[in-house]
Amino acid sequence: MKLFLPQAQLEEWALGDKADLRDGKLVVAAEGGASYPTVPAVHFVKLVSGEDTHQLVAKVKTEPQLASLGADHLETSVLVGETAYEVVPGYVTEVAVAPRPGDKKPNNETDLLAAFILNKMG
């Protein structure tokens, strides 16, 4: 299952010695150093100017996907042509999240990330 991990969250985990990024992988200390491949990405949170013709708001795009759109990414902003967006930088990783007994099935990426945090970082 693919998850978006904001850069700020990863920095918090690194400071707490819970997880870190090494050689393009998320290394989780709680799992004895298990690692998951990561790809730099951004989460589009807000349209700043122009029209959202690519329907990017609320989506996550990796760096290769941004390149294919001809997008320019600089920290917390992305320009696609004349359209400007506010973004949250981070990484996409793929993890296997096993549901715990009694847990409801996650409905969205936020629930999935919460389940991952509870299971792995709790």
Structure confidence at residue 78 (pLDDT): 98
Each domain of the chain, given as residue ranges in start order, spans 2-121
Three-class secondary structure of residue 13 per DSSP: helix
The fraction of the chain above a pLDDT of 70, given in percent, is 78
Q: What is the pLDDT of residues 68-110, one digit of tens each?
A: 999 999 999 999 999 999 999 999 998 766 555 555 555 554 4
Of 41, 32, 47, 30, the closest CA to residue 3 belongs to 41
Distance CA 41, CA 8 (A): 13
